Amino acid sequence: MGLAYSFLQQSFPLAKTKFTVNDIPDLNGKVVIVTGGSAGIGKETVKGLLSHNAKVYILTRNKEKTEQAILELKDSTGHEAQFISCDLADLVSVKHAAEEFTSKENELHILINNAGVMNPPIEQLTAQGYDMQLGTNALG
């Protein structure tokens, strides 16, 4: 393993991170949507945006989970994100989410398409009958 590891390490060195959350400028007055922002990378993204004064809308399917995440994010950043219900596997839900957002805001400055699915069962379809992965990740 030593020789193989050395070869990989020399051929593919680990990249050094150059951009950090601290490099985000002040986002006061900016409106952001983050899909799938209630957990994981999405939640950490929302945290970074809130900590830099952005107004953030989290679009997810699970209201209870998202409301809990919003409370946790408010405790850690002092800023409160907003929830909009959106199931990316249902184009009717996506349309309703867009209508709700545009009834509250005139502009969107940043869109982070974080939510998605990977390798669902081939027979699993969206509400409109599209392949789940295509329908969720590309159409929704």
50-100 per-position pLDDT tens digit: 999 999 999 999 999 999 999 999 999 999 999 999 999 999 999 999 999
> Has residue 93 been placed in a domain?
yes
Range of the domain at 129: 25-139
> Has residue 130 been placed in a domain?
yes
> Has residue 113 been placed in a domain?
yes
Overall number of domains in the chain: 1
> Has residue 17 been placed in a domain?
no
pLDDT one-digit tens code per residue, 6-40:
887 888 888 788 889 999 999 999 999 999 999 99
> Has residue 7 been placed in a domain?
no
- Find the CATH number of the domain harbouring 134: 3.40.50.720
| pTM attached to this predicted model | 0.87
> Has residue 12 been placed in a domain?
no
> Has residue 15 been placed in a domain?
no
pLDDT one-digit tens code per residue, 96-120:
999 999 999 999 999 999 999 999 9
* Nearest alpha carbon to residue 38 among 98, 82, 8: 82
